Structure 1
């Protein structure tokens, strides 16, 4: 019997592949957690372009991998217990699919399952500027219980690298799932 907590990580074709990779890296170091990874076709293109990583290389960071079109995978069922899902980065196409319950691939289907089972869904949408459709889709996901967390760096902590800015967002999101995140971000303590 599996006693580990499971977290689904979806990586789509929006820019910001470093976030998806970093979630996997941090969770790999945490005992008691099991990651389930799904990457869209465009997500694989971005991983290659932004991180110089192949499918095989990113898969090595995950405990379990699923193919994007395998809608019969374990994570496509509410009976498969997870703590929730993070889509990082999230394209506007995937955001729209989640907002409208259009489970056309395993990322949008797994997100739909997380929402219907009242588990935590965190989406890191990456697009700028936003049009009204994007904003309405974010509102729809929020109304369904999802959390919209755009990858916007905090400047008050005076991060001195891209990696530190990424870790700040990764740490804050993982804390929402109860993952110990000491060292990834510094909570604001006032002046």
Structure 2
């Protein structure tokens, strides 16, 4: 009796020029591990300012730092630029308010915004991770429009009930939630109600 071979989950990560590059770096480190294990097929696309902010916040060249293929700004030959390719999920980490506005209004002028548009129209999982604060009424309206269209808005807000002791641990509380919604099973930090969370009723 033959057993079916599980197909890798196809995931896109978009990185914009918003502050919050360490979240993207950690997410891609973990997804690269999943890719190496054959559990994930991974595509990465960038906004025009993402490399500059990455260099400022993480140091070094973004493309050299990533052990994954990075598609060009307007390289619409990327498989995830079309709904027929059947990619499962996308996370935009971090998501700038400019990018959120373009996606909310259906402007697909780059590979990143096109990929997000594909996720919405195909009813796939789109996780939008804004870090901006404070948020203006315009920002909130655009994020609301994305939510109504089916995207999940997951602000880059660390949780503290697990008592993170380092910046990396705080980052993991956000990245872990992103992975949950991408359909990737990785437990990075204690979950609510687990014995080691230190949570009290």
TM-score range relative to shorter protein:
over 0.9
Gaps of 5+ in 1: none
Which one has a bigger Cα radius of gyration?
A: 2
Q: Could you list the runs of 4 or more consecutive aligned residues of structure 1 that deviate by over 3 angstroms after TM superposition?
A: none
* Pairwise CA RMSD: 1.4
Aligned counterpart, 1:144:
149
- Residue 48 of structure 1 and its aligned partner are, at CA, apart by 0.6
Contact 1:172 1:185 in 2 (8 A): no
Q: Distance in 1 between matches of 2:60 and 2:46?
A: 13
Say how many residue pairs are matched.
187
Aligned counterpart, 1:58:
65
Aligned counterpart, 2:33:
29
Contact 2:127 2:181 in 1 (8 A): no
Aligned counterpart, 1:169:
174
TM-score (structure 1 length as normaliser):
0.93
Aligned counterpart, 2:23:
19
Q: Distance in 2 between matches of 1:87 and 1:12?
A: 7
1:93 to 98, 108, 113: 98
- Residue 69 of structure 1 and its aligned partner are, at CA, apart by 1.4
Gaps of 5+ in 2: 1-5, 194-198
1:43 to 38, 43, 50: 50
Q: Distance in 2 between matches of 1:128 and 1:11?
A: 18
When structure 1 is superposed on structure 2, of 144-153 and 173-182 the one drifting more is: 173-182
- Residue 171 of structure 1 and its aligned partner are, at CA, apart by 0.9
TM-score (structure 2 length as normaliser):
0.88
